[in-house]
Structure 1
Amino acid sequence: MVYREKSSDVNRKKKKNNQLNVLTKTDRSDGSDDCNLFTDLPRFPPRVERNAKGAAGLAAASRLVEKGFDPARITILEAENRIGGRIFTVQHGSSLIEIGAQWVHGKEGNVVHPLAEAAGEIRTDIHTLESTGYADDVEMVYRDGRKITADQLKEFKEILQRIYADSRRELAQWKTSLGEYFEYKFGKHLDQGSFTTMDRATALDLLDWAHRAQNIEDGSDNWMETCGVGSLEYHECVGDYTTVWKRGYSALFDILMKNVPKRNNGLQLPLSDRIRLNSPVNLVRWNPDRPNCKVEVVCSDQTYNADMVLITCSLGVLKDRADKLFTPLLPEKKRKAIEGIGFGTVDKIFLEFCKPWWNQQWGGVNFLTQHSKATGDWVEKVMGFSTVRGQPNLLIGWISGPAARICETRPEDEVMRKCSELLRNAVGSDFVYEEPTRMIRSLWHSNPNFCGSYSYRSRKSKDLDVWASDLAEPISDSHGLIRLLFAGEATHDHCYSNVHAAVETGWREADRIFEMVNNSPAPSKL
């Protein structure tokens, strides 16, 4: 929700890699293994869970093959039994649902959009805010059924938009959190009497909803943890921010691997047999004793040797167990970047009904919590429920932060019961409500292959002076050879939290690898 376009001047250290050409001076052993490129670092200890290698890894591998790199020299390790990572399209009935990434966010500057458009995989005729909670046909309702009037909602949105407009020029000089900025500006409007259609308590309840919505957009636990000036690092891509896929976001992998059924172009890249599913990694020994030795990647049933390793696991995984996965420990600056850059949890909750009890004019409901009656229960943080395109019997809800993590630990019957109670109380006076028959939900935090959803710029990253460039910086061994490279949405300077950031950083590291290998006198295993 917050306007984020211009890059802020936060005294970041933009490092230059002075070791890219070191490989040209090194006679490297080819070895006998066929292991070359490793992407995701899965869970520790070894165990098969859900979810898989995502856009950054496949983007890097496909880019290398397109540049002429021998696919036999690439191995992709994946802990899951599927590819996809935080892109997780699920067939449901005659259509599909997105458990993870859902929309192509914008067109200009978004590397995914032209790929999808050229393949005929996106709907250019649909421009909708459906399922976001921001559509005009979504009501704002207290848990006891009291509604915010159209005039009240209009006034609230207008004042909030003024604050967003002010943030364009003011956040660059703001020293504290994004939340403190918005609460300060909102408080000034309250004190100045800007609200004429509601009392102070109602306005603050609406601000609480805006806070929850902002946390979902940012991926933060609390906007008090989001860096005010750091949030300006994010650049939105111009164009429809909720572009819809025809076959779901997973079609991106067909596009990256040149396997697009619609076009049947016959250019499928030979990568499928280079993916090792159900291959969790326990340990990466990245600083060998001699320059002609390999990096060792230890899995539960096999050890792979490679000249270099590309890491594309989530920042959440690195936060959870980087010190266990890498030996020796990663350099201090890298560990600080892992510690400082924010990574939160955003979950979806789908409720399925036998048939719609709502009419076509109803797009959903957002839940307000009256501050004086708040109990602290996780369900109070559910943003609302909205309709789902192509799924007439489903409603989608959003929840983030600590409440989402608690929700993930609760039994399904409890979650469905509490969410249904919210809905029933909010809409019972307008519709003949019927109980849901099924629930489908994401579990991004409790899934040890992700430990959350996506990254954001936290106050801690500013305090530690660590940014995406520090997370993306390659790591060289004691002989000066680059051994570890990093890609993924969290390593992008300006489009973090998005799929197009993952793809772009995968390409970035593939180009880096190709340059190093192309300048090396001996073939390298990646």
Structure 2
Amino acid sequence: MARSQYDTIIIGLGAAGVTAAATLGKAGKQVLGLEAEGRIGGRVNTVPFGDGVVELGAEWIHGEHPSLVYDTAVQNNIQLAFQDLAFNIFRSDGQVPNEEFQLLCNEVIAQGFIFMANPPEESIPAGQFVTAKLMQYFKDNNPKILEDQDLVEQLLEFLNLLTNNYCACNDWNDLDARDKFTHLDGHQHISWYKQGYKTFFDIMLNTYRDGPGLSNLNVKLNTEVTQIAWPEDPNGTVKVITKDGAVYTADSVIITVSVGVLKESYKTLFTPKLPAKKIAAIENLAIGVMDKIVLSFETAWWPKNATFFGFLWQGEDRRRIGREDYWITRIFGASSPMGSDNVLTLWTSGETAKMVELLPEDLVRRKCMQLLQMFMGGKTIIPEPTGFIRSTWHSNPYTRGSYSYDSIHVASLPWLRSELAAPLTDRSGKPRVLFAGEATDETHFSTVHGACDTGYRESMRLLPASKM
């Protein structure tokens, strides 16, 4: 479909963009999808690795109902795998904790999540809130644990790092305990198993199992948008200019790039310039980093039932780590992904993740191997890895972060997400520039299903009521 005039141009083909493109294309609209990267998926990135595939971005479907993502998988008979978030706890002295200790740690982790799911009425840093609740919980249910202050600190720090990875923040006290995030009903950790998350995009774009695609959709990869000129005149059109000098026009445009990219580009991207309140939303919304370091081995050397590893750093061991290696103490654990049988994923987040993205590959690999050996102990012989790969969500100029979160620093600005989602209209009130993406969802931000919902929301804004 070679043309320069479209009904709608969609910028960014991640979950929100693909959902919008599929919805409008199936409704008969002529759609152009512009993607700066050389692949479709955005912050979902399934990569062949080990003896299968791994997810460098979104790992799971979080919840079942109501979820376009889950429904799409089920309706197409995709084999899914349900994972339980139970941790095999390891300690920095290499001693294998007994079953009683494992149960204690998992009880504390579960209790921490319960407190997070029942926030206070007032704004307070999440770390302060959960710490106070846990200390009271210990006094009421297990006062003996308070005699080992180092263990208490280990457990709190583990929960801090785990929260950082869930929310992409740097510290759980950066997070508002009263954040608006809401879980869907159903299981929270559903893997796409061997087919990978990319299957969702194949289904949405009708390319799954060699499907012919969508006839009304034209996709251009490796195409970075540098300017969006939108009309205030109801008779005008939206003009989109790309880095290679191409110009495309349309009745409307849907922007689905991350808020991290908007922070970096909004001053030069839009003509005329954005309204002050839209700028405030872009500048104040928080987006953080969650990164993965992935190692493959000839064969799996870890126990088959060990899906998640949790690392507890004893205070003395943490203090012995040199300043230049501090980042390894911010790796909270590892997991065995469902898409590959001989792979381990190590997780890190926040400012540490940004730094690790820039460290030499051989250094990161070597230090991660030392970390694993330290926690597994001398009785476990860890073979050399056969492969190494890592995510770089912050240094990637087309993402500049992993996902957004409700920061304690903007608790007094509850309108940020709704303002980011508000379309730019011409003088007649017709929407010309629309905004989608996980950061524009009030309650399901940071998730693929939330991003999909916003893509559908904005596409339906452009369709007549009879199409709804």
User: Is TM (by shorter chain) over 0.5?
Assistant: yes
The residue number in structure 2 matching 1:141 is: 91
Write out aligned runs for 1:102-181 (5 A): 102-123=59-80, 126-129=81-84, 134-136=85-87, 138-142=88-92, 144-166=93-115, 168-169=117-118, 171-181=119-129
In structure 2, the residue matched to 1:370 is 314
Aligned partner of 1:339 in structure 2 is 283
**Residue aligning to 2:11:** 40
Distance change >3 Å, CA 60–CA 207, structure 1 → 2:
same
TM-score of the pair, normalised by structure 1: 0.81
Runs (5+) with no aligned partner, structure 1: 1-31, 42-52, 519-526
Indicate which of 200, 213, 223 corresponds to 1:252. Answer: 200
Q: Any conservation in 1 of the 2:68–2:452 contact (CA below 8 Å)?
A: yes
Q: Distance in 1 between matches of 2:339 and 2:190?
A: 14
Structure-1 separation of matches of 2:36 and 2:51: 29
Deviations 1:315-346 (A, max 9, x none): 11112222222233211211122122221111
Q: 2:228 touches 2:239 (CA, 8 Å); kept in 1?
A: yes
- Cα 1:174/1:160, change in 2 over 3 Å: farther
Residues 187-196 or 217-226, more deviating = 187-196
Moved over 6 A (4+): none
The secondary structure found in structure 1 opposite 2:268 is: helix
**2 CA distance for matches of 1:381 and 1:329?**
40
1:187 and 1:268 map into 2 onto residues whose CA distance is: 56
Kindly provide the CA deviation profile for residues 431-474 of structure 1, in whole angstroms up to 9, marking residues without a partner as x.
Answer: 12222232111111110100011111112332233332221111
* Contact map agreement 1:316 1:343 (CA 8 A) in 2: yes
Deviation at 1:403, TM superposition (A): 0.5
On the 8 A contact 1:341/1:466 being kept in 2, the answer is no
Partner residue in 1 for 2:190: 243
List gaps (5 residues or longer) in structure 2.
none
Change (3 A) 1:439 1:162: closer
Q: Structure 1 444/165 Cα, relative in aligned 2: closer, same or farther at 3 Å? A: closer
Alignment of 1:207-356 (within 5 A): 207-230=156-179, 233-245=180-192, 246-261=194-209, 268-271=213-216, 274-287=218-231, 290-300=233-243, 301-356=245-300
Q: 1:358 to 1:459 in 2, by over 3 A?
A: closer
Corresponding residue for residue 455 of structure 2: 506
Whether the aligned pair in 2 keeps the contact of 1:341 and 1:460 (CA below 8 Å) is: no
- Most deviating of 350-359 and 187-196: 187-196
In structure 1, distance between residues paired with 2:228 and 2:454: 22
**Secondary structure in 2 matching 1:511:** helix
Q: Write the distance in 2 (CA, Å) between the matches of 1:456 and 1:193.
A: 32
Cα deviation for residue 159 of structure 1 reads 4.3
- Decide whether aligned partners of structure 1 residues 390 and 163 sit closer, same or farther in structure 2, where only a CA change above 3 A counts: closer
Match of 1:35, SS state, is strand
Q: How far apart, CA to CA, are the structure 2 residues paired with 1:367 and 1:140? A: 5
State how far apart, in whole Å, the 1-side matches of 2:377 and 2:131 are: 33
Identity of aligned residues (%): 33
Question: In angstroms, what is the RMSD of aligned CA positions?
Answer: 2.5
**Deviation of residue 195 (structure 1)?**
4.0
**Partners of 1:399 and 1:94 in 2: CA distance:** 24
Question: Is the 8 Å Cα contact of residues 141 and 365 (structure 1) preserved in structure 2?
Answer: no
2:15/2:452 contact within 8 Å kept: yes
Question: How many residues are paired up?
Answer: 457
Give TM-score scaled by structure 2 length: 0.90
Letter aligned with residue 298 of structure 1: I
Instruction: Give the number of the structure whose residues are more often strand, by fraction.
Output: 2
- Paired amino acid for 2:58: A
Task: Pick closer, same or farther for the CA change 1:362–1:257 going to 2, 3 Å.
Answer: closer
Match of 1:184 among 129, 132, 135: 132
Q: Residues 471 and 99 (structure 1 numbering): CA distance in 2 closer, same or farther, change over 3 Å?
A: same
CA distance in structure 2 between the partners assigned to 1:501 and 1:224 by the alignment: 24
Report the Cα distance in structure 2 between the residues aligned to 1:55 and 1:213, rounded to whole angstroms: 25
Q: Residues 341-420 of structure 1: matches in 2 within 5 Å?
A: 341-363=285-307, 365-372=309-316, 373-374=318-319, 375=321, 377-420=326-369
Equivalent position of 2:23 in the other structure: 63
The more displaced of 114-123 and 430-439 is 430-439
Partner residue of 2:373 out of 401, 424, 443: 424
* Residues 50 and 342, structure 2, Cα contact 8 Å, conserved in 1: no
Between 407-416 and 468-477, report the one with greater CA deviation: 468-477
- Return the letter of the residue paired with 1:471: L
Give the drift of 1:87: 1.4
* Contact kept? 2:168, 2:290, Cα under 8 Å: yes
1:293–1:84 CA distance, 2 compared to 1 (3 A) = same
Aligned residue identity for 2:59: Q
